């Protein structure tokens, strides 16, 4: 049976919202009914299901653990672009990188989506970090979405998504793909700086740090205040003294309790 629409009762919507919140911290309860309905439809069509209650029963079983992961995946929003919120990269270039004197350097792109953010960071480091070839340099790039991580791993992007990449960077750090339309792959020298991994920010973190810089941008807008506060304080613990945290420009930390020093909009320092 192919569904053309999905009826979702208030009780079912709250069950879905509670599941997503419990496993990912994402808050869907404020006006997100249409989004939940549309994205559940995608999974129902794949599975050939037509019963919301049966689906919810299934994802709450051991056999449904993989489907629960896929459900949370489709509920996430993955808007991103190269050099998004460029002021961060300018500050990184002008202020942060000149201060990095140690051999070991660790960055974390904590919600990397399809890879544009960590690859933007990597290109900035290659251009502006002195003696990068002598550094123990790594950018950890994590995301909850296996779908997005697969795209990041491929690192292939249509030309129209590269409009904010400087022309000189496009020439140096991208390779045009033959027989694949007007698409480009990030050069291996850039990809080699990035380690991709699946991570739910609400779970335990296997890495120990410390990190010099953490990017966690346009993610916390989907979390409630308590979840935001817990996450920000975990970032504090894993950053080195003097390390920087970049958040989205709609994600100021003024409404939560934290120890960070405000530097400029969406930019904080430990």
Question: Catalytic residue positions?
Answer: 39, 143
The CA-to-CA distance between both ends of the chain, in Å, stands at 55
Q: How far is Cα 32 from Cα 51, in angstroms, rounded to an integer? A: 20
Under 8 Å between Cβ of 102 and 69: no
Under 8 Å between Cβ of 250 and 54: no
Q: How far is Cα 49 from Cα 43, in angstroms, rounded to an integer? A: 8
Closest CA to 86 of 256, 221, 263, 246: 246
Longest dimension (CA), the chain: 62
58 CB-near residues (< 8 Å, 6+ apart): 64, 67
């Amino acid at each position: 049976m192919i569904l053309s629409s999905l009826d979702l009762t208030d009780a079912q919507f709250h069950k879905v919202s509670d599941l997503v919140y419990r496993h990912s911290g994402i808050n869907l309860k404020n006006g997100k009914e249409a989004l939940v309905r549309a994205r559940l439809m995608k999974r129902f069509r794949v599975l050939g299901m037509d019963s919301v209650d049966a689906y919810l029963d299934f994802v709450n079983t051991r056999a449904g653990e993989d489907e629960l992961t896929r459900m949370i995946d489709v509920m996430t929003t993955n808007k991103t672009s190269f050099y998004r919120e460029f002021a961060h990269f300018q500050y990184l270039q002008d202020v942060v990188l000149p201060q990095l004197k140690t051999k070991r350097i660790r960055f974390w792109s904590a919600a990397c989506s399809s890879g544009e953010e960590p690859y933007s960071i990597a290109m900035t480091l290659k251009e502006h970090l002195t003696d990068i070839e002598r550094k123990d340099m790594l950018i950890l790039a994590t995301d909850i979405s296996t779908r997005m991580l697969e795209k990041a791993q491929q690192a292939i992007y249509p030309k129209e998504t590269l409009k904010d990449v400087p022309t000189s960077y496009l020439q140096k750090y991208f390779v045009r793909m033959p027989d694949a339309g007007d698409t480009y792959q990030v050069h291996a020298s850039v990809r080699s700086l990035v380690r991709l991994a699946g991570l739910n920010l609400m779970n335990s973190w296997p890495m120990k740090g410390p990190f010099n810089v953490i990017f966690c941008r346009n993610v916390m807008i989907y979390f409630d205040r308590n979840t935001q506060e817990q996450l920000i304080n975990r970032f504090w613990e894993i950053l080195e003294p003097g390390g920087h945290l970049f958040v989205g420009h709609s994600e100021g930390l003024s409404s939560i309790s934290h120890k960070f020093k405000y530097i400029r909009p969406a930019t904080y320092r430990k």
